Structure 1
Amino acid sequence: MRTPPIVTADEAVGLIADGATVTVSSSSGLGCPDAVLAALGRRYRDTSAPGGLTLIHPIAAGDMYGIKGIDHLAEQPGQLSRLFAGSLPSGPSDFGPPAVRALIESGGVQAYNIPSGVLFQMHRAAATRQPGVLTEVGAGTFADPRQDGARMNAATEEFVRIEHLAGKDWLFYPALSVDVAIIRATTADPFGNLSFEQEGGTLGALDQAYAAHNNGGIVIAQVKRTSPDRLPPSTVRVPGIVVDVVVVVPEQMQTTQISYDPTISGEASRSLAEIEPLPWGPEKVIARRAAAALHHDDIVNLGFGLSAGVPRVLLEAGHEDEVTWVIEQGPIGGFPLTGFAFGSAMNPHALMPSIDQFTLLAGGGIDVAMLSFLQISGTGDVNVSHLPSRSHVTVGIGGFADITTFAPHVVLSGYFTAGSRDIEVGDGRLTIRQDGDVAKFVTDVAQISFAARNALDRGQQVTVVTERAVLRLTPAGLEVTEIAPGIDLRRDVLDRADCDLLVSDDLRLMDHRLFREVAPQLELGPRRRPLLMPAGRPPVPAAPPTRCGATSHA
C-alpha cells in the first residue's frame, strides 16, 4: 500500500517543474497552505525556478494580514505567467499592498477573474476529462466574452467562449489540465489519508487533488500533524491514493490570527451569548432593515460586507434559529463569523465541500442571498468586484456571480454614498451632518458583476437596502420605495445619486423603530415553503417574497 513520504516544504516544491499548472486550495486565511507557498516563492528567488507557472485560486489564497498566500509567488516577475482567480487579497495590510495586484496592473501576468463556483466546476471537469463548463453564471457580466471575457488586463488572451446549445447561448469555461495541487488538511495517516477535523471547511481540496492526480500530476498536502494509526474511514476527506507528499507544519493556524477554535470546526459548541451585539450606528440600521426581507425557515446565503451584520441583528432579536445560513466556504447552519474568521461559522450543522455548496447556491436552492455592493447603476447593474477609486485591478467576483444567477431574492446592503461621512441615527430618525463625496448609485458601474436585465428576465426579486433609502429593481430601473425619517427625498437621495432613480407611487417612511438604539420587535415573514405536501397533489408554489418597502417586518 502506498505510503507518501513526509518531506519539508522546500523538498516538496522541488517537485514542481517550470511551466506547471498549479491549483491551490484556500479561502483568504482559511485553509491556506502558506508554508508550501512560501517555500515555492523562496525557491524561485534563490534559483529562478520554477518559472512560467499557471496558478489557479478558486478563492483568494492569503489575506495579507498575517498570511501572504499568492503574494509569495508574485514578488518576483517571471514566476507566474497566467493566473485564474475567483478573488484576490485586498490589502493594504501588515505586508503592504498585495504584489499580485501590481503584477496584474503592470501586465506582468495574464490574469482571469473567474467566478469561484465555476472554477471549482472546472476542476471537476478536468478530473473527469470533460472539455469544460457550460453555464449561465457570468452571462451579461464582465466574465461574458461579449464584455471583458473575465480578462483582468490588456495582456490577457481570450479564454471564455459563447456556445449555442439547446436553443440558447451559454458561457463556456474550458477545463484546465492541472499538474500540481497544493492542499491543506489537519492530519495525515501513514497512508496519506487526510482528515480536516480542525479546519473550518474542506474547501475544494478533494476535487483539486483529483484534477492533478487524474492528469498524472502530483498532490502536495500540508498538514498540522500526522497519526501513527490509520484514520477512521468516515473521517477521511481526501484519500491517500491521490496524495504524493506530505508536509507537516505544526504551527499552521486554523485561520488568520486564530490558532484553533473547536467551535469553527464543529468539534465543540458554545453559547452564542458571548457574541457581541452589532455596535449602534447606521450599519445596524441597514442590517435591521435587510433582516426584514427574511421569512421563517429561509435558507439564506451570507456574503461579505455590511450584510454580515444581519445574523447579529437576528441574534439580538431572539431569531437566531429562524433561518439557516449557508456560506460558500462550506458551513451550513450555525452562526456566521466575521473579521479574520469570515467564511467560517460557530457551531455549524454541516461542513460541505465548496463545490457541493456551489451546487446548491448556483442552482437557486436558497431563498435569499444577503450580499453587499460597491456600485449600482440606475438600471440595476451591480459592481462588487472592482474598486475604481483604488486600483484598476479587480478585487474579484468570488462566488457573487454563482450565487446571484438564480437566487430568488437578492438583498444588497450598503451605504448610499462612499467617502468621509458623518451620519447619526437615533430618536427614530437619521441625520446627515456630512455626506460622502463619492456616488455609489451611478449611470454606469465600473464593472458589471450582476446583470439586472438577466435578473428581470428570470423573475428574480432584487432589494437594495441603505441607511437612508430602500430601493427595488423594476423593468424601468431602480425605484425608491422607502426613505428614512429625517431626510429629504430630493436633497439626500435623488440628488446624491449620479443616475436617475424612480420614485414609487407608494413611497413610505422606513419604520422609525429601526432608528432607535433599543432593539425593535423583529418579525419574520411566514414560511415560504410548505413542510409537507398532500399525496397526489402538485407542489404548491412558494409564497411570493414580501414586497420591498413593507414595514410590517421591521
Structure 2
Amino acid sequence: AMEKRFFETGHPRDLTLFFAAGQGHRDGTGGDHYGHEGMVKRVVGGHWDRAPKLGDLALANKIGAYNLPQGVITHMYRDIAAHNIGTITHVGLYTFADPRNGGGKLNECTKEDLVKLINIEGEERLLYKGFPINVCFLRGSYADEYGNCTVHREIGPLDVTAQAQATKNSGGKVIVQVEKIVQGGSLDPKLVKIPGIYVDAIVVGSIEDNMQCLGMPYDGALTGEFRIPVDAIPAIPLDAKKILARRAAMELPQDAIVNLGTGAPEKIANVAAEEGISDKLTLTVEAGSIAGVPYGGTQFGAAANSMAILDHNVQFDFYQGGGLDVAFLGLAETAPNGDLNVSKFGTRLAGAGGFIDITQNAKKVVYCGTFTAKGLKTECKDGKLIIVQ
C-alpha cells in the first residue's frame, strides 16, 4: 500500500528503513517495496540480499546505507526501547562494522557515524548508536478487540515485542497486520506477544497477505502445532550443493549445538534427516528455532519439529555468548590469509546477516562454497559430480 501510494502521490518520501533479517525473495516483495529513489533516504540493515532494489540504490550511491550485524540490530531494538545510550558489544570488532574499517557504511554518500569504538575496563567494545523509531509494521496471527496480538501461527515471535516497545517508547505508531480479530479477552495471554497497549492500529490482511512464508500457506509443523515424521521431509536431489552439505556433515561432532547459514549450508539439515542423524545434534536457526529440521528457500528461518522457538534477539544472546559448538556458513570470497567476504561482491549487495555475530563466537566454523564465480555448470551421474564448465 505504501509503495502504491508513493507511485501515485510521490509520498511518503525520505524514509529511514531499519531491519535485521532479510526481507523478501528478490522478486519485488519485502524490502523491495521501498526500493525506489526518493522513497527512502537511508537504510540500516543486517541482511540485504532479499531486497536487490534497495541494494542497487546503495551501490549506486543514491541512499545512505549501513550494514550492521544482524544480531546486533535485534539487540538495538531492545536498547532503543529501554532508552539506553546504545548497544555495547564485542561483536563487529575488526570487521567492516568497526569504525576503524568504515563503521558499516556501504557507500560514499553515507556520512553519519552509527558505530563508535569505546574502551570499558581496559577492553575495546563497539557502541552501536540507537535512534527513535516513528512507525513499525508488524505481522501477527490473531488480534482481539483490545489490540492484543498473538504470533502463534507464524514461524516464530522474531522481534515483534522489542520492535513494538521501541516504537511505542519513541513516541511512534505500531501497526499490526493479522489474519482475524477475535472477541476481547479470548486470547490465551501466554500467546500474546504484542500487548494491546503497544498497538495503534490493526489491519486484517487477505489470505495472500497472510501467507506464513512468501508464497507458502500455513504449516503447523513449523509452529509446533504438530510434528511430522522425518521421512515425510522430501529428499533433495543430488547436486553440487548437496555434495558440499554431505561433506560438511562429516564435521559434525556428537551431540553438537549447530547453526546453519543460508545457501549450501541449509541443505545440511536435509542430509542429516536423510541419514537419520538428526537426533544426534541440535540444529538451531537465527530466527529462534531450537532442534528440529530447518527449512530453506522462502521458508528459511523456519524449522519443522522444533523443541522450542525463541525470540530472534534471545537466540542471538546465546550465539553471541559462545553457545554454538559449530556453525556451517557460506562464503563468497576468501583471501589467502583466511579473510572472508560474504556481504558485498560485484553488483550484488548481500549484507553480512548474522555471519559476524556467529563467526566471532562459535567454537568451530565450517565454510561451504564452490570457490567459483558465475558460469559454473555441473551435473551428477552415477553418484559423481561432473564439472561441465
Q: Structure 2-normalised TM-score?
A: 0.94
Within the candidate set 302, 318, 323, 1:365 is matched to 323
State whether structure 2 residue 78 is matched by structure 1 residue 116: no
CA offset at residue 361 of structure 1?
1.0
Return the letter of the residue paired with 1:399. Answer: G
State whether structure 2 residue 205 is matched by structure 1 residue 243: no
Within the candidate set 17, 36, 43, 1:83 is matched to 43
CA offset at residue 284 of structure 1?
2.8
List gaps (5 residues or longer) in structure 1: 1-38, 92-97, 435-554
Aligned residue in 2 for 1:47: 9
Over aligned residue pairs, what C-alpha RMSD do you find? 1.9
State percent identity of aligned pairs.
37
Cα distance between partner residues in 1 of 2:175 and 2:377 = 50
How does 1:324-473 map onto structure 2 within 5 Å? 324-388=282-346, 391=347, 394-423=349-378, 432=387, 434=389
CA offset at residue 40 of structure 1?
1.8
Aligned residue in 2 for 1:174: 129
Structure of higher RCO (CA pairs closer than 8 Å, 6+ residues apart)? 2
Secondary structure, aligned partner of 1:78? coil
State whether structure 2 residue 89 is matched by structure 1 residue 135: yes
Return the letter of the residue paired with 1:62. Answer: G
Distance verdict in 2 for CA 1:321–1:191, change over 3 Å: same
CA offset at residue 202 of structure 1?
1.3
Return the letter of the residue paired with 2:130. Answer: A
State whether structure 2 residue 80 is matched by structure 1 residue 126: yes
Q: Hey, which bits of structure 1, 4+ residues long, moved more than 3 A?
A: 421-434
State whether structure 2 residue 237 is matched by structure 1 residue 282: no
Q: Does the 8 Å contact 1:198/1:260 carry over to 2?
A: yes
State whether structure 2 residue 160 is matched by structure 1 residue 205: yes
Return the letter of the residue paired with 2:98. Answer: D
Secondary structure, aligned partner of 2:117? strand
Cα distance between partner residues in 2 of 1:270 and 1:427 = 31
Name which one, 1 or 2, has greater alpha-carbon Rg. 1
CA offset at residue 245 of structure 1?
0.6
Aligned residue in 2 for 1:302: 260
Cα distance between partner residues in 1 of 2:387 and 2:25 = 34
State whether structure 2 residue 30 is matched by structure 1 residue 69: yes
Cα distance between partner residues in 1 of 2:224 and 2:122 = 46
Return the letter of the residue paired with 2:161. Answer: L
Aligned residue in 2 for 1:28: none
Distance verdict in 2 for CA 1:191–1:307, change over 3 Å: same
1:389-445 alpha-carbon deviations (Å, 9 max, x no partner) = xx1x521111111111110000111113233335566779766554xxxxxxxxxxx
1:206-247 alpha-carbon deviations (Å, 9 max, x no partner) = 101000111221111111111124211111111111111101
CA offset at residue 255 of structure 1?
0.6
Q: Does the 8 Å contact 2:320/2:358 carry over to 1?
A: yes
Return the letter of the residue paired with 1:401. Answer: I
Number of residue pairs matched? 385
Return the letter of the residue paired with 1:203. Answer: L
Aligned residue in 1 for 2:174: 219
Cα distance between partner residues in 1 of 2:94 and 2:44 = 20
Return the letter of the residue paired with 2:140. Answer: A
Q: Does the 8 Å contact 2:327/2:364 carry over to 1?
A: yes
List gaps (5 residues or longer) in structure 2: none
Q: Does the 8 Å contact 2:231/2:273 carry over to 1?
A: no
Distance verdict in 2 for CA 1:409–1:229, change over 3 Å: same
Aligned residue in 1 for 2:19: 57
Return the letter of the residue paired with 2:200. Answer: D
Aligned residue in 1 for 2:103: 149
Secondary structure, aligned partner of 2:370? coil
Cα distance between partner residues in 1 of 2:385 and 2:349 = 33
Return the letter of the residue paired with 2:360. Answer: T
Q: Does the 8 Å contact 2:239/2:385 carry over to 1?
A: no
Cα distance between partner residues in 2 of 1:131 and 1:334 = 38
